[in-house]
A and B are shown apart, each in its own frame.
Chain A
Amino acid sequence: MVFDLIKGLLGQEEKKEAKPAEAAAEKREEEAVSASGGQPEEGASWLSLDAWVSLEGLKKGLEKTRSRLEGHLKGLFALGQTVDEHLLEEVEAALIEADMGVKPVNRLMEELRRACQSGQIKDAVGLKAYLKTSLKERFKGYKLELNMSPTPPTVIMIAGVNGSGKTTSIAKLGYMFVKEGKRVLLAAGDTYRAAAVEQLEIWAGRVGAQIIKHQTGADPAAVAYDALQAAVARGMDVVIVDTAGRLHTKQNLMNELGKIKKVLSKRIEHAPHEVLLVLDATTGQNAISQAKLFKEAIDITGIFLAKLDGTAKGGVVLGMQDEIKIPVKFVGLGEKAENIQRFDPEGFIDALFD
């Protein structure tokens, strides 16, 4: 099984990993990040790295958590084990505790019970297989690749609530594009929070991107416009537009986002080509409200699921698909610029039960 295969791989790789102390020490040398840290092999393009990124990233993200957390389901899915109420309850608990949401879980549990009664599921191993197939179903038909403009620059707008991890996620995207050999420009559109511009500036320097900034308190739409002007003049490949964090319920701030987006499309037709909502993986059911209201305001095209390296599973992105269809495109798995990977439904769902 894929699940076991990945698990096996993870287990083996783990032994070779640096001790926690060393890993943490390395984390502090942030300056080293852009120079050498976690660089993929020379010449390999991002796309061909997909497999590498998935396993490596997943492993790194989970490495801290796996040893500490006794999974609900550890040992329960053993061969020959029958499906009983106890097992079903454990499955239910695991899904709810992964933030999938009680209603989507209830629906799924009904489905599982029916499949058990009809004999479709015969034992615990069968249950697990059925469960995973059903969960993966939710991510079917999504285009996980970014929409790149045929004529550069490709414009990516970033939004999210306060503290969701926008700036770090932008740094990660910037790093990814720079690694691909693209010319990247960041627009310091968070003109509200103290020192947000400085924060992005430091990241721009680290990952090797250019930056357009105004003063704190400036009109973010004007920053966005200037960034596109500069991007066209300088022949940039990608522009990533930062915005200030805002709660999705603040109507005036959501209107402001709409204005920024409109300004982008005025300067470059079809821009922004991607509008990513940065979602903190520890967020619970409120993420659905976030996704809905950000979609309403700026028609988000995907989710960047940040902070997935903790113990939170980010299961709300599974549950929300029942109500609102939004693909997850990237996950963030740490504080370093290279701790980014494309969303891999397979690995994500496997991790729910790890």
Chain B
Amino acid sequence: MFEAITKSLEAVFDRLRGRGRLTRENIQEGLREVRTALLEADVNYKVVKDLINRVTEKAVGEEVLQSVAPGQQIVKIIYDELVRLMGPVGQPMTFQEGNPTVIMLVGLHGCGKTTTSAKLAKLALSKGRKPLLVAADIQRPAAIEQLKVLGKQLGIPVYSENGGQPPLLCQRAFDYAIKNGQNVVILDTAGRLHIDEELMAELREIKERTKPYSVLFVCDAMTGQDAVNSAKEFNSQLEFDGAILTKMDGDTRGGAALSIKAVTGKPIKYVGVGEKLDMLEEFYPDRMASRILGMGDVVTLVEKAQAAVKEEDAKAFARKIKEESLTLEDFLDQLQKIKKMGPLQELLSMIPGMGTKMEGLEVEEAQMKKIEAMIQSMTKEERANPDLIDGSHRQRIARGSATTPHDINQLLKQFRFMKKMLKTAFGGATSLSRMGLPKGLPAGMFKGKRK
């Protein structure tokens, strides 16, 4: 994620670090690179222009010139500015008491409203609420059917009608919710262009009739420069309360996050990070800013690691490293934990500095599978004591794992090497808690593709 922007910014900062003090000139050069990076991340042209102006003002002041580490300081200024632009942090989901809490989702075609509706309903359900999903998209063929299927998956009722006018439909859905004791009503409206006056008027009417507690603008994270136009228009017509950025699990740099906040003043509340219905996360401006600036998204990585590794396991692993009693069994266990954390490439990109260092390297998930197969084809004794593995053992393991004796040799060699490295690199600390992840992986897992 954010590879390109990270790359160019790191180049700038490396250059700045090399100099004693900032001058007006080298700020200009640096900021030009920052501008390019932000534009490549799809931050809107005008938003970038404003940002650069603000940063220039701050950077050319005494503050920076008197600083002992000017390079660090300009990173900080840009970082702060990005955090400021994207913050403050949106409130997590809140509800109103008394009448049902109506949440209305609006946005362009294909931005992910229906999936997000279901995700929000699931979230409300997990907070002890009784959500009702409302199929207000009577435009797109089978949209109602889609919501019904999702509702069924979640065990959440779906209100729908055959045809009819969406504003009246939503009002009836609201009445239905009151009658049936559903206290959260999520309106999945049809996708529409922000310049389609008729359909925008329809949204205003839905808003008037249902008095939503919260109107949320759903936006595809891959949106380019035009994000400002749609966000501005939806906001001016509906005064939405916040935005949800979807499809953030791809490699988009997500500049739309900056743009939306800048032109509407409304916070990003959630980000969609996958097709599964529990893949909705809160938005953290600082994490996003860190990512953009190539500081890596360590917080997310740590969280993922924590979710995958129990503390006592980590301690036991650390002890084994220290005592040099690490076995192939432990190694397999670690591999499987890493796999649980998500795609390797994505994990590595979160580590500070890895963004650019990974350039041209391809992480071989297939290689990981191969290692797993090899270890799984070994007996318990062999896993505990790899020295037992001789020629005939190798033959057998290779047959069992569809590899060659040569592969087995490679694995054993790498394992011994890794054991030694872990010992020297970490002493007593655990590998994951110290973010030593890549060092802990066998070298063969990365296929060199350097030019």
Chain A interface residues toward B at CB < 8 A: 20-21, 23-25, 28, 30, 64-65, 68-69, 93, 96-99, 101-103, 106, 161-165, 192-196, 198-199, 201-203, 216, 247-251, 280, 282-287, 289, 307, 309-313, 316, 335
Contacts and interface: CB of A to CB of B under 8 A. Distances in A.
Nearest to B43: A284
A272 B343 CA distance: 30
A285 B224 contact: yes
A316 B224 contact: yes
A98 B228 CA distance: 12
Contacts of A25: 198
A20 B146 contact: no
Interface of B: 35-36, 39-42, 44-45, 108-112, 139-143, 145-150, 153, 193-199, 220, 222-227, 229-230, 247, 249-253, 255-256, 275, 343, 345-346, 365
Contact of A193 (B146, B148, B196, B250): B146
B149 A286 contact: no
Contacts of B227: 282, 284
A310 B224 contact: no
A321 to B, nearest CB: 16
Among B148, B250, B345, find the residue whose CB has the most chain A CB atoms closer than 10 A. B250
Contact of B110 (A28, A64, A164, A309): A164
Contact of B247 (A28, A163, A192, A309): A163
Contacts of A316: 224
A322 B40 CA distance: 15
Contact of A101 (B35, B40, B148, B223): B40
A193 B223 CA distance: 22
Among B225, B247, B249, find the residue whose CB has the most chain A CB atoms closer than 10 A. B225
B250 A249 contact: yes
Nearest to B112: A163
A247 B250 contact: yes
Contacts, number: 163
A339 to B, nearest CB: 12
B247 A195 contact: no
B240 to A, nearest CB: 18
B250 A161 contact: yes
B142 A285 contact: no
B141 A282 contact: no
B144 to A, nearest CB: 8
B251 A249 contact: yes
A310 B226 contact: yes
Contacts of A65: 195
Contact of B223 (A20, A198, A216, A283): A283
Contact of B142 (A28, A192, A198, A311): A198
A24 B199 contact: yes
Contact of B36 (A24, A102, A202): A102
Contacts of B251: 248-249, 286, 289
A96 B256 CA distance: 14
A286 B198 contact: no
Contacts of B196: 24, 64
Given A97-B45, A162-B112, A312-B229, 15 more contacts: A20-B198, A24-B198, A64-B196, A69-B229, A96-B45, A97-B225, A165-B110, A194-B149, A195-B145, A195-B146, A282-B220, A286-B252, A310-B195, A313-B226, A316-B224
A68 B145 contact: no
B449 to A, nearest CB: 13
Contact of B226 (A23, A103, A163, A311): A311
Among A99, A163, A193, A313, find the residue whose CB has the most chain B CB atoms closer than 10 A. A163
A24 B196 CA distance: 8
A216 B145 CA distance: 13
A311 B229 contact: yes
Given A164-B110, A199-B140, A310 B193 contact: yes
23 contacts: A20-B198, A24-B197, A25-B198, A30-B141, A64-B193, A68-B195, A69-B229, A162-B275, A194-B150, A194-B153, A195-B146, A198-B145, A203-B141, A216-B149, A249-B343, A284-B224, A284-B227, A285-B42, A285-B224, A287-B222, A307-B109, A310-B226, A335-B109
A163 B194 contact: no
Nearest first, the 3 closest Cβ-Cβ pairs linking A and B are A284-B224, A163-B110, A24-B198
Nearest to B223: A282
Contacts of A28: 139
A250 to B, nearest CB: 8
Contacts of A101: 39-40
A285 B40 contact: yes
Nearest to A23: B198
A311 B228 CA distance: 10
Contacts of B112: 162-163
Nearest to A24: B198
Given A101-B40, A193-B146, A248-B250, A284 B199 contact: no
A250 B226 CA distance: 26
A5 to B, nearest CB: 25
A64 B196 CA distance: 7
B139 A284 contact: no
Nearest to A64: B195
A311 B145 contact: no
Contacts of A251: 343, 365
A329 B292 CA distance: 34
Contacts of A284: 42, 222-225, 227, 252, 255-256
A23 B224 CA distance: 28
Contact of B253 (A21, A250, A286, A307): A286
A199 B140 CA distance: 8
Contacts of B143: 195, 199
B110 A280 contact: yes
B149 A195 contact: yes
